[in-house]
Amino acid sequence: MDYMDITVATEGRVRTITLNRPDRLNAWTHRMEAEFRRAIEAADVDEGVRAIVVTGAGRGFCAGADMDILEAGAAGAVGEPVVAPAESPPSGIEANYAWKFSYLLRVRKPIFVAINGPIAGIGLCMAVFCDFRYMAEGQRLTTAFAKRGLIAEHGISWMLPRLVGPTNALDLLLSARTLVTAEAAALGLVKALPSEGFLSKVQAIARDMTENASPRSIGVIKRQVYDSLFQDLNTAWRRADEEMQASFASEDFREGVAHFLEKRPPAFTGR
């Protein structure tokens, strides 16, 4: 696929998607949003990919929405949504995964965000809907919205409290203050890593997880965890019992037992 605002590269079974507007600190555009979703969906269906890493080009991760978009909004010219509403919108639990970034929760592969530079606004909204957030030491993070006269957009008011608790979420959203990597890590929002060799370290973490665990198990467990946010315990428990029975019939279960008994690295197929 041809992209303008992102780049895509694959090493082994790790697909790296890079936001690629370094001259604007990778500020978010409608084109970037459309390309990003296409790249994520392509990685999800590619059986050769087991993990997705998202990072930014140059010295920034994502500075938020491009100022041209904000200026147009301030002038009353709000742009059209990138993705048109579906003719038959999903219902039930699936409706929760149909939004701008909530679809990321439905991706079968784990998504690792490598925050190499400043992250703000819509860039943070995207990141909180990914599975793992790693941040280079000494970088900066802000929600930004309240200081622009905006509100908590794109599901962040729902997801952020689930990551850091309501009080911390309100602090970050209402003050829109800037915090550095160490405080973000202390809140549990990110995990800190040294800036030297940062992206390679995140890619190695992604590679290690997905080489040593069954991709089938990862996909099912990820779905269980996010579905449980919308379920009661009884429903989640019944679902787990059903999935456990299905696991017993899988190739990956047989391989999981075999490689342990034979004391060798696993060779999971994802089936």
Average pLDDT over residues 215-237: 96
pLDDT in tens, 31-69: 999 999 999 999 999 999 999 999 999 999 999 998 666
Q: Using 50, 70 and 90 to split pLDDT, how confident is the model at 86? A: low
Both tokens of residue 152? 């908590």
Q: What integer pLDDT is reported at residue 151 of this predicted model?
A: 87
Q: Using 50, 70 and 90 to split pLDDT, how confident is the model at 270? A: confident
Q: For the chain, where are the E strands, in sequence order?
A: 6-11, 14-19, 51-56, 111-115, 119-120, 132-136, 140-142, 179-180, 191-193
Residue 226's H or E segment, with its range, is helix 215-228
CB count, 10 Å around CB of 144? 22
pLDDT in tens, 95-115: 999 999 999 999 999 999 999
Both tokens of residue 53? 């890493």
Spatial separation of the C-alpha atoms in residues 144 and 64, rounded to whole Å = 8
Both tokens of residue 236? 């989640």
Q: What integer pLDDT is reported at residue 13 of this predicted model?
A: 96
Q: Are 108 and 222 in contact (CB under 8 A)?
A: yes
Q: What integer pLDDT is reported at residue 80 of this predicted model?
A: 46
Tell the burial category of 265 from Cβ atoms under 10 Å away from its Cβ (0-12, 13-18, 19+): exposed
Spatial separation of the C-alpha atoms in residues 217 and 28, rounded to whole Å = 33
- Dihedral sign computed on CA atoms, order 222, 228, 233, 236: negative
Q: In the Cβ-directed half-sphere of 224, how many Cα atoms lie within 13 Å?
A: 18
C-alpha dihedral, 125 to 126 to 129 to 134, nearest 10°? -100
- Phi-psi region at 64: left, alpha or beta (left = phi > 0; alpha = psi -120 to 50): left
Q: What is the pTM assigned to this prediction?
A: 0.90
Both tokens of residue 250? 């899988």
Q: What integer pLDDT is reported at residue 89 of this predicted model?
A: 77
Task: Calculate helix-pair angle for 215-228, 198-212, nearest 10 degrees.
Answer: 100
Residue 34's H or E segment, with its range, is helix 30-45
Spatial separation of the C-alpha atoms in residues 105 and 92, rounded to whole Å = 16
Spatial separation of the C-alpha atoms in residues 119 and 140, rounded to whole Å = 7
Q: Are 132 and 163 in contact (CB under 8 A)?
A: no
Residue 129's H or E segment, with its range, is none
Q: Using 50, 70 and 90 to split pLDDT, how confident is the model at 171? A: very high
